[in-house]
Amino acid sequence: MSIEDYRDNARRILDNLLNETPKADREQLLDAYADLLTQLYAHHSHQLLTEVIEDTRTRLDARLSPDPVRQTIAGVQTTIQDLWNSLWKG
């Protein structure tokens, strides 16, 4: 899931809005397409949350593993993610 996917889907929806017949009621079009964009946002948010939960579950399993190699790998992944987050937000 990426921001490009979301952008492409939103662009497709807005393109449909602009290509609707000029005789259509503006308020009905706005309501219909606002609903579509809301559904798109909900879908992508759910996908992102699912990916985060899966990643968290994998890391937690590795940290709780009795295998020291898996614990070390989990620690490195967390450090890299923290570094990436600080660069992305900073």
User: Percent of the chain, pLDDT > 70?
Assistant: 91
Structural domain of 37:
3-89
Phi-psi region of 23 (alpha: psi -120 to 50; beta: other; left: phi over 0): alpha
Provide the number of structural domains found in the chain.
Answer: 1
Cα-Cα-Cα-Cα torsion 60, 61, 62, 64, nearest 10 degrees, comes to 80
Query: What is the per-residue pLDDT for 48?
Result: 81
Local confidence band at 88 (pLDDT 50, 70, 90 cut-offs): low
Burial class (CB in 10 A: 0-12, 13-18, 19+), 68: exposed
User: Percent of the chain, pLDDT > 90?
Assistant: 0
Radius of gyration (C-alpha) of the chain in whole angstroms: 21
